[in-house]
């Protein structure tokens, strides 16, 4: 095998046509072939890769350490010769930097190499993603077919966004297999929506908005190709002549318009099907490529469509579950009280990649003596148990605070004892505060149970964290006395209570996050409260955040 500057053998040339980084590993895990895109993404020439142990050379943790051999799924899949896929893995580039990837490894049989594994890796950072090159010609070798199917699986299953998965599907098939790609989806009440009509042009993909949108219903008795595909009956070939006769349905009218507008002379339509239902149909058409589709093409497209259907079903189920989870979470969170001396707003953002509710929460309510109670907290976990524990914790906090005119520390001490015996909470953090207005002065008293400190920003842009009153988190030492702290809130100042998802992420420590939050909050302090809060979330929340965020913002606005 030669480097990128020398001649390429047939296997490497085939790998070069793929839109992902790719290498072949032998039964011992040694790299025996690599494509140009793999060289580019890894920042290593072929000469520095060939013959090397892929695991020792490339596989790293997020911190840059070598992954233990017994814990490396990529290595195990190569040695066991079984198909595996994953994400959240890291490969080391030639310059020592790390490339975050999703990947798929699958065994393949080649004449020259009776035992080999094809490894495809796809950068998970948008800036690292490659431009896909078309395969040469329309007749694919067995390796090309295997690689395309493997790439389909790894790309489509590495996202849980339905629209993103469909866009990736279009990128996979254009211009490799066709000039045109059309995706029709079946939605609620069996309504059909033409999601995309895409054309390969000048190395890119152009969408025809005028041909997309709502479609007529699927006729149950029609024998026309798209109608059959949308019913999940079978795949069918079609051409412009197919729809020249008297239309048997509104879909047939739309299909005639499609063929006239695109100039397709040959098309094949295959169902997009999951285990439980028909999700839609994929149509590939050729206008610029002269070869008509064949039965061999249909077998490949049906395999692609089957994999796409499974990925789409997973994405749809995720989005449905996420919507239910978010709705439940938001209903558990309270409405904010009206207070004449303060304006108040709150935000709750679920974890970007979590399909279940979490334990982040906030609360604000008026106490019997006229003070305003403020709270924010985080119950350990990201599941229904955490959400249930959060609701119990919040309700007990309200009960204690409304029935007892005591300092925040005493309320939280009682709450801590109760969580050990009553609430289904293992560990939790929280800040609980009382805000009182006396003689034109606003005073805040609070206690902190292991939570990130509140942030106070004056109208002049001076930001400081309220680090006093700090004690251990709930669920560790319920018999421990807790401290209180007190400070004055100047007119025009803004107080922020938040959870750690706003300031902490896998790639950024808490100190860096706190510094960033205070700087952004100070720079935005003259904005109206709603604009302040939205822009602060957009700026301060880490891009790789994998946690919920609860944010409660109070601005002291005393009257004249």
- Tens place of pLDDT for every residue, the chain, 560 residues? 444 444 457 677 778 777 788 899 988 899 999 999 999 999 999 999 999 999 999 998 877 778 888 888 888 888 888 878 777 788 999 988 888 888 888 887 655 555 788 898 888 765 555 444 444 335 666 666 777 777 777 777 777 778 888 888 888 888 888 999 999 999 878 899 999 999 998 878 899 999 999 999 999 889 999 999 999 988 999 999 999 888 899 999 999 999 999 999 999 999 998 888 899 999 999 998 888 998 888 888 888 888 888 888 887 777 776 666 566 556 666 788 888 889 999 998 877 654 455 678 899 999 999 999 999 998 876 555 666 667 778 888 999 999 988 999 999 999 888 877 665 666 889 999 999 988 778 999 999 999 999 999 999 999 999 999 999 988 887 678 899 999 999 999 999 999 998 998 777 778 889 999 999 999 999 999 999 999 999 999 887 676 788 999 999 987 65
pLDDT value at residue 323? 67
- Asked whether the beta carbons of 507 and 449 are under 8 A apart, the reply is no
What pLDDT is stored for residue 151 in this prediction? 73
Distance CA 158, CA 351 (A): 17
CA distance 466 to 90: 38
Note the pLDDT of residue 525. Answer: 96
Closest alpha carbon to 308 in 404, 185, 194, 414 = 185
Secondary structure letter of residue 368 according to DSSP:
T
Strand 342-349 relative to strand 266-273, pairing: unpaired
Radius of gyration over every alpha carbon of the chain, rounded to an integer in angstroms:
29
d(CA 401, CA 443): 17
pTM (two decimals): 0.51
Structure tokens at 374: 């403020």
Q: At 417, list the tokens.
A: 């004892």
- Sketch the domain layout of the chain as residue ranges: 1-135, 159-328, 333-556
pLDDT number for residue 388: 66
CATH level 3 topology of 1-135: Beta-Lactamase (3.30.450)
Backbone angles phi, psi at 12, to 5 degrees: -65, -35
What confidence score (pLDDT) does residue 355 get?
46
Rounded Cα distance, 364 and 465, in Å: 20
Task: Decide which of 2.40.110.10, 3.60.40.10, 3.40.50.1370, 3.30.479.30 is the CATH code for 333-556.
Answer: 3.60.40.10
Q: Which CATH number fits domain 159-328: 3.20.20.220, 3.30.870.10, 3.30.450.40, 3.40.190.290?
A: 3.30.450.40
77 neighbors 47 (Cβ within 8 angstroms): no
Whether the CB-CB separation of 54 and 26 falls below 8 Å is answered with no
User: Fold match between 1-135 and 333-556?
Assistant: no
Decide if 373 contacts 433 (C-beta within 8 A).
yes
d(CA 110, CA 107): 10
State how far the alpha carbon of 20 is from the alpha carbons of 119, 148, 151, in Å. Answer: 10, 10, 7
Evaluated on CA atoms 286, 290, 294, 297, the torsion sign reads negative
Query: What confidence score (pLDDT) does residue 69 get?
Result: 83
- Give the number of other CB atoms < 10 A from CB of residue 114: 9
Give the pLDDT of residue 8. Answer: 59
Phi, then psi, of 74 in degrees rounded to 5: -65, -45
Q: How far is CA 557 from CA 161, 341, 477, in A?
A: 42, 5, 38
């Amino acid at each position: 095998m030669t480097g990128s500057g020398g001649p390429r053998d047939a296997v490497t040339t085939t790998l070069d046509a793929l839109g992902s980084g790719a290498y072949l590993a032998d039964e011992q895990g040694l790299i025996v072939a690599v494509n140009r895109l793999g060289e580019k993404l890894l920042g290593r020439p072929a000469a520095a890769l060939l013959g090397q142990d892929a695991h020792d050379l490339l596989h790293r943790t997020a911190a840059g350490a070598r992954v233990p051999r017994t814990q490396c799924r990529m290595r195990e899949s190569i040695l066991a010769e079984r198909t595996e896929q994953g994400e959240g893995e890291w490969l080391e580039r030639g310059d020592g930097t790390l490339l975050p990837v999703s990947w798929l490894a699958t065994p393949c049989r080649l004449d020259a190499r009776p035992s080999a594994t094809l490894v495809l890796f796809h950068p998970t950072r948008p800036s690292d993603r490659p431009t896909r090159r078309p395969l040469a010609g329309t007749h694919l070798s067995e390796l090309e077919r295997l690689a395309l199917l493997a790439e389909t699986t790894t790309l489509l299953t590495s996202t849980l966004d339905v629209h993103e998965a469909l866009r990736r599907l279009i990128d996979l098939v254009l211009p490799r297999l066709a000039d045109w790609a059309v995706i029709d989806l079946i939605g609620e009440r069996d309504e059909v929506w033409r999601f995309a009509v895409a054309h390969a042009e000048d190395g890119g993909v152009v969408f025809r908005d005028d041909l997309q949108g709502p479609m007529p219903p699927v006729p149950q008795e029609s024998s026309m190709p798209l109608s059959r595909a949308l019913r999940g009956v079978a795949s069918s070939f079609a051409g412009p002549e197919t729809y020249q006769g008297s239309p048997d349905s509104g879909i047939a009218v739309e299909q005639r318009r499609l063929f006239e507008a695109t100039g397709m002379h040959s098309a094949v339509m295959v169902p997009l099907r999951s285990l439980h239902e028909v999700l839609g149909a994929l149509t590939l058409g050729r206008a610029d490529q002269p070869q008509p589709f064949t039965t061999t093409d249909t077998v490949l497209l049906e395999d692609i469509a089957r994999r796409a259907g499974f990925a789409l079903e997973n994405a749809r189920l995720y989005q449905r579950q996420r919507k239910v989870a978010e709705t439940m979470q938001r209903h558990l969170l309270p409405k904010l009280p009206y207070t004449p001396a303060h304006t108040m707003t709150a935000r709750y953002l679920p974890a970007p990649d979590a399909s279940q509710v979490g334990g982040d929460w906030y609360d604000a309510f008026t106490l019997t003596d006229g003070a305003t109670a403020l709270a924010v907290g985080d119950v350990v976990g990201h599941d229904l148990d955490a959400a249930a524990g959060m609701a119990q914790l919040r309700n007990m906090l309200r009960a204690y605070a409304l029935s007892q005119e005591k300092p925040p520390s005493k309320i939280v001490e009682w709450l801590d004892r109760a969580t050990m015996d009553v609430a289904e909470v293992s560990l939790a953090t929280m800040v609980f505060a009382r805000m009182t207005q006396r003689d034109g002065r606003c005073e805040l008293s609070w206690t902190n149970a292991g939570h990130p400190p509140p942030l106070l920003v004056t109208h002049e842009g001076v930001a400081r964290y309220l680090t006093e009153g700090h004690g251990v988190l709930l669920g560790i030492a319920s018999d421990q006395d807790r401290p209180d702290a007190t400070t004055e809130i100047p007119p025009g100042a803004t107080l922020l209570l938040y959870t750690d998802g706003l300031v902490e992420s896998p790639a950024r420590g808490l100190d860096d996050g706190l510094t960033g939050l205070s700087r952004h909050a100070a720079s935005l302090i003259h904005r109206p409260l709603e604009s302040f809060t939205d822009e602060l979330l957009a700026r301060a929340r880490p891009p790789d955040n994998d946690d919920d965020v609860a944010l409660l913002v109070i601005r002291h606005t005393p009257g004249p």
